Amino acid sequence: MAKEVQVLEYLASGNSVHDGQSWVCEACDTFQIDVPGGSHTCLAYEPIGISLSERIDLQPGRRLENAPCENIKLDNIQEALPDDSAKILARLVEAECKEPGPQKIVNDRATIYTSRSLDYESGVVYPILTDLGMAMLGSAEYSHAIQAIPYRAPEVILGMKWNESVYIWNLGVVLLCGEHLFGRDNERDALALMIKYLGPPPVEFLKRSDVYLQYFDEQG
């Protein structure tokens, strides 16, 4: 969470006039909550809609066809509420007051309510970039894991040193099709699907990794 706060503060300090600035979910506020187990960082955002991954799950065949946002990393995208979102939220509040949803009281202090679906009046939605906790700043070399598995570059899977160039892999994968080309569950399956579609990687490339023998033999 501290990393995400750092990235959000960095983006806010840039005073960017780029059109893309409007599509990054910036925190309205950050604060600390102290509990017996330690201190927790909390981020407050404006209300946003479902993620594009959830949107895909709602589509026939679980695939976005001719979607304007199919070239974006789906796990970290939320759909923006339309311009009349205040009216949508007002209707939700009114509905809850008239017909309160089932709720559960915990320890006489916390109330848990059931979720309600947002009623989009328009078929037009816009993508909002979220979940920046794994974003890296600058052009240094790193070796820790980043990226969701469907978009994870082979250098990252194999524990090699990497820099910002691994995001070109992201771009290539998400531009190619509107579905998870290399699976979505584990790194071993992702590597297997890469080899299925692209062929085996060069041995010279594999030997840059200290752990490649977990997946390959000496000949690749």
pLDDT, tens digit only, all 220 positions of the chain: 778 888 888 888 877 787 777 788 888 888 889 988 888 888 888 887 777 677 767 767 666 555 544 444 445 455 555 555 566 667 777 777 787 765 555 666 666 666 666 555 556 667 788 888 877 777 788 888 888 888 899 999 999 999 988 888 887 887 766 667 787 778 999 999 999 999 999 999 999 999 999 999 888 7
The per-residue b/e assignment along 88-116, b for 16 or more CB within 10 angstroms, e otherwise, is: beeeeeeeeeeeeeeeeeeeeeeeeeeee
Count CB neighbours of 13 within 10 A: 8
Residue found by looking up tokens 């160039």 in the block: 165
Structure confidence by residue, pLDDT tens digits, 110-119: 666 666 665 5
Q: From 76, 78, 73, select the one nearest 172 (Cα to Cα).
A: 73
Q: From 88, 31, 59, 73, select the one nearest 171 (Cα to Cα).
A: 73
Structure confidence by residue, pLDDT tens digits, 32-49: 899 888 888 888 888 877
pLDDT of residue 71: 42
* 28 SS3 class: coil
Tell me the catalytic residues: 83
Residues linked to residue 38 through DSSP beta bridges, in sequence order: 35
Q: Does residue 19 contact residue 12 with C-beta atoms inside 8 Å? A: no
